[in-house]
Structure 1
Amino acid sequence: MNAIKHAIQKGLHGSALFLAVLSALSLAAILLVIVTSVVLRKFFDAPLFFAEELVGLLMSASLFLALPMATLKGQHIRVSLLLDTLKSRSPVLRNALFTAGLLVGIGFTGWIFLESLPWMEFAIRRELKSETARILLYPLMSVVPISMIFCLVIYAAKVFGFIHSEER
């Protein structure tokens, strides 16, 4: 059982790390696009016409690509006042609240995953492109369901004890 637990931990961490690296590359691409656009505007009076659109798409992709790592490490923004209060007084109640939070996470990520699939399918069928730069949208739209399915699996692994949660 320990070998399976270790393999699941390693696989989820590796996948989350890969997506986090892609997120960091997205942020670097945003910086490159903005710097290029500013330099072109300053010296040639010709900024990149697609800079704002591309930066917005890359920012959205970056956020969703980083989400599995934040979920794995438990680094979401959360209100910990109640959990911190219960830490020493009632560990059983604290664990129950923590598990309830994980179940809410499963519900939320599952819901977003199910909602994002029809949008992605529609974008693929219609070959939707962005308005200004005509960038194909479905590669970027696929980031949402991929991210959500990883978050869903991470939450489930935490609920079933395959991943040790530092927050507990």
Structure 2
Amino acid sequence: MSLVSTFIDKGLKRSALFLAILSALSLVAILVVIVASVVLRKFFDAPLFFAEELVGLLMSASLFLALPMATIKGQHIRVTLLIDSLKARIPFVAQAISTLGILVGLGFCGWILWEAIPWMEFAIKRELKSETARILLYPLMSVVPVSMALCCIIYFARLLGFIKLEER
């Protein structure tokens, strides 16, 4: 593996790991909010009024923050029956199908990124806030373009051969 490939591979894996750690922290925050709300409801008859809203926002952020790690490790839901059966008999067809899968992933992530940027810009300009707790939405909404951009870069690097899909 060349120096450039190693640099790109490590950089993308570390970036994905950083976002995955943020995803795990948002899951911990969900747990803390739910436990606090339940304890306050049980003992003080005063649950956190913003718990459901915050948990929903954190869950969405967690999903998108974890997506680059799933992309770089190839841990999406995949049906490998066709590719596995073709690898031994017709390797170039299996490679073509894998390349097509990368192109579909790149196209999908690129499309979501294209749609998410104006959506986030609108939220920033209007300073949109959640309905109940009045939580600013654009910090959480910025997770989508960041995550999708990193997924696009991962797919593009895989397409160019800078990173390989880890075999399971």
TM-score interval w.r.t. the shorter chain? Answer: over 0.9
Find the aligned partners of 2:150 and 2:103 in 1 and give their Cα distance. 15
The letter for the 2-side match of 1:128 is L
| 1:97-132 deviation digits (Å, cap 9, x = unpaired) | 000000000100000000001100000000000000
**Structure 2 unaligned runs (5+)?**
none
Paired residues, what number?
A: 168
What is the correspondence of 1:11-160 to structure 2 with a 5 Å cutoff?
11-160=11-160
RMSD: 1.2
Find the aligned partners of 2:92 and 2:167 in 1 and give their Cα distance. 14
Find the aligned partners of 1:130 and 1:48 in 2 and give their Cα distance. 15
Shift of 1:36: 0.4
The letter for the 2-side match of 1:13 is K
Shift of 1:89: 1.6
Give identity over the alignment, percent. Answer: 73
Find the aligned partners of 1:108 and 1:16 in 2 and give their Cα distance. 18
Shift of 1:166: 2.4
Structure 1 length as normaliser, TM-score? Answer: 0.97
Structure 2 length as normaliser, TM-score? Answer: 0.97
SS of structure 2 residue aligned to 1:130: coil
| 1:68-101 deviation digits (Å, cap 9, x = unpaired) | 0000000001222211221212111001000000
| 1:53-74 deviation digits (Å, cap 9, x = unpaired) | 0000000000000000000000
Find the aligned partners of 2:44 and 2:102 in 1 and give their Cα distance. 53
Moved over 3 A (4+): none
Match of 2:163 in 1: 163
The letter for the 2-side match of 1:156 is F
